[in-house]
Structure 1
Amino acid sequence: MSNTKKPIVTDQAPSAIGPYSQAVAAGGFIFASGQLGLDPVTGEFPSGVEAQAKQSLENVRALLEAAGSSLDRVVKATVFLKDMNDFAAANAVYGTFFVEPFPARSTIEVARLPKDALIEIEVIALAD
């Protein structure tokens, strides 16, 4: 197993808005940076937490596929919500993207997300 890291870049997910990689492959894993629910083409948010959760997970899927991985190889997910009252709605969308055995997951309410997003999701997945 190599001790190098390789950046993963795709135009199918929003570009990084700071000094970080969209995702990094290292040690047999893919570490995907937190994905907002931004449309990668328009750079706009869809309306509502459900739509943003769906777009966030589509962005995660695009990063994983660019790395040669997939959502079914996710071992850990972290969900950041602007409002924990949106948990049920976001969870319902999340549940449509994953099958058993489900990844381990943490969900955290935060005071604010970049660009005033309603949700951000990051994952760790097994590489190819």
Structure 2
Amino acid sequence: MELIQSPELPAPAGHYSQAVAAGGLVFLSGILPAAGAVDPATAGFEAQCGSVFEQCEKVLCAAGCGFADVVQCTAYIVGVENWPAFNALYANVFGTHKPARAVVPVPGLHYGFMVEVQLVAQRPGA
């Protein structure tokens, strides 16, 4: 198992890795909006999603991947009413690429954020 850490992001505060690679796959831990850059009390759902996808892109890049390599996504969103907005933002990020996906409405997330995304990607050439 290879630990993946983006040099552009702070190291995780807990006992986990930003991502790990194993068997040609890269597994991203749940990614929240950028702490310090996004205030959950004032940033809207769309801004939080934008931050999450930027964070994910940095971790994917550190693993030698991009969004086109993602094979599975699990998204946790606060409020089922945010599903259409998430779907539109997600479609904008992934374009015609359509990985397997689950969107799970939840009552709350860590630090008061409204979205968390977990990805699995296949390394190119693996």
The share of aligned pairs that are identical, in percent, is 34
> Which letter does structure 1 place at the counterpart of 2:88?
A
Distance 2:103 2:9 in 1: 22
Residue 102 of structure 1 corresponds to: 98
Q: Tell me how far 1:43 sits from its aligned partner.
A: 4.7
- Number of residues paired by the alignment? 122
Decide whether the 8 Å contact of 1:81 with 1:120 is kept in 2.
yes
Question: Structure 2 length as normaliser, TM-score?
Answer: 0.89
Q: Tell me how far 1:45 sits from its aligned partner.
A: 3.2
Q: Does 1:112 align with 2:108?
A: yes
User: RMSD over aligned Cα, in angstroms?
Assistant: 1.5
> Which letter does structure 2 place at the counterpart of 1:45?
D
Q: How does 1:79-94 map to 2 (within 5 A)?
A: 79-94=75-90
Q: Tell me how far 1:118 sits from its aligned partner.
A: 0.3
Q: Tell me how far 1:92 sits from its aligned partner.
A: 1.3
Residue 49 of structure 2 corresponds to: 53
Decide whether the 8 Å contact of 2:76 with 2:117 is kept in 1.
yes
Q: 1:8 aligns with which of 4, 22, 31?
A: 4
Decide whether the 8 Å contact of 1:14 with 1:38 is kept in 2.
no
> Once superposed, which parts of structure 1, at least 4 consecutive aligned residues long, lie more than 6 Å away?
none
Q: Which runs of 5+ in 2 are unaligned?
A: none
Residue 35 of structure 1 corresponds to: 31
Decide whether the 8 Å contact of 2:38 with 2:51 is kept in 1.
no
Q: Tell me how far 1:100 sits from its aligned partner.
A: 2.3
Q: Which range moved further: 25-34 or 10-19?
A: 10-19
Residue 59 of structure 2 corresponds to: 63
Q: Tell me how far 1:14 sits from its aligned partner.
A: 4.7
> Which letter does structure 2 place at the counterpart of 1:8?
I
> Which letter does structure 1 place at the counterpart of 2:30?
G
SS of residue in 1 equivalent to 2:68: helix
